[in-house]
């Protein structure tokens, strides 16, 4: 497969980034066009209710980036086998279910069941004008072989059986403006002898076991490195960070 056309990880040799060929094999749910960037960070979770006609079933879910021109790009995906749907509550949280593989639960044909699918961690930002698409299917060939049993599925999405896509997101921290930047007076760590101090790659002058650092423009913190001999006769380095915004 040509470079740049393969999946986003080494475990998916048959997962093309463009998802338009696979979309007819599953259900798709797409958001409106985004008005601002949407950063996806860490794991995500898909909660859904389903009824199956088989004694076991496999589900595959994908998060897809839909560009304004209609082209698509795979972001990340997850898998779930119905008989291994048990979630360990002690090791799970909203958006990150933990599904151990040591407990198998029977699948009752015709019974509506809630599933929690763990979608792999990612670090991806959807740009304004793009849309986020969820693709859900029980077919993921040739990446995964089909189960020996076959059956149809009914996926619910009503008030009685609410489905949720819980995304791991992270927004940028608001910018902190400094009214002014103060000089930093750093004290030499106790117990050090023959000390040298450096900041911004320059050696500092030590007076009365203290050094004074003038912060650079636009700096919010300053790191001072002290190197000397401790009480055991060993050369050690101590790094300390100071805030300069006031």
pTM flag (> 0.75): no
* CB-CB contact of 68 with 130 (8 Å): yes
Q: How confident is the model at residue 176 (pLDDT cuts 50, 70, 90)?
A: low
Query: What is the rounded CA–CA span in Å between residue 139 and residue 145?
Result: 9
Q: What pLDDT, on a 0 to 100 scale, did the predictor assign at position 233?
A: 87
Over residues 56-75, the mean pLDDT reads: 92
Q: How confident is the model at residue 149 (pLDDT cuts 50, 70, 90)?
A: confident
Q: Which residues contact 158 (CB under 8 A, 6 or more apart)?
A: none
Q: Is the pLDDT of residue 61 over 80?
A: yes
Q: DSSP character for 128?
A: T
pLDDT tens per residue, range 213-239: 888 877 778 889 999 998 888 888 888
* CB-CB contact of 44 with 164 (8 Å): no
Residue 241 burial (C-beta neighbours within 10 Å; 0-12, 13-18, 19+): exposed
Query: What is the rounded CA–CA span in Å between residue 112 and residue 104?
Result: 18
Instruction: Parse the chain into domains and list their residue ranges.
Output: 23-166, 184-243
Token readout for 120 is: 């792999």
Q: What pLDDT, on a 0 to 100 scale, did the predictor assign at position 4?
A: 40
Confirm or reject CATH 2.60.120.10 for domain 23-166, answering yes or no: no
Lowest mean pLDDT of 4-8, 40-44, 138-142, 223-227, name the range. Answer: 4-8
Enumerate long-range contacts of 83-86, CB under 8 Å, 24 or more apart: 83/56, 83/107, 85/113, 85/115, 85/116
């Amino acid at each position: 497969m040509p470079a740049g056309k393969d999946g986003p990880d080494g475990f998916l040799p048959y997962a093309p980034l463009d998802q338009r060929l696979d979309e007819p094999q599953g259900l798709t749910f797409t958001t409106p066009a985004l008005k601002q960037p949407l950063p996806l960070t860490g794991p995500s979770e898909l909660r859904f209710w389903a009824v199956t006609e088989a004694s076991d079933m496999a589900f595959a879910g994908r998060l897809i980036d839909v560009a304004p021109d209609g082209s698509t790009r795979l972001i990340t995906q997850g898998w779930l086998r119905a008989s291994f749907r048990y979630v360990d509550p002690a090791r799970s949280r909203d958006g990150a279910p933990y599904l151990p593989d040591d407990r198998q639960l029977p699948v009752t044909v015709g019974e509506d069941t809630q599933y929690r699918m763990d979608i792999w961690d990612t670090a991806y930002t959807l740009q304004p004008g793009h849309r986020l698409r969820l693709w859900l299917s029980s077919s993921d060939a040739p990446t995964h072989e089909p189960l020996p049993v076959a059956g149809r599925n009914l996926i619910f999405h009503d008030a009685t059986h609410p489905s949720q896509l819980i995304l791991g997101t992270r927004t940028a921290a608001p910018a902190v403006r400094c009214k002014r930047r103060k000089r930093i007076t750093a004290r030499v760590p106790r117990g050090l002898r023959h000390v040298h101090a450096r900041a911004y790659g320059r050696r500092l002058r030590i007076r009365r076991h203290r050094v004074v650092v003038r912060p650079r423009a636009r700096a919010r913190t300053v790191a001072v490195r002290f190197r000397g001999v401790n009480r055991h006769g060993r050369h050690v380095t101590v790094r300390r960070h100071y805030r300069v915004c006031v």
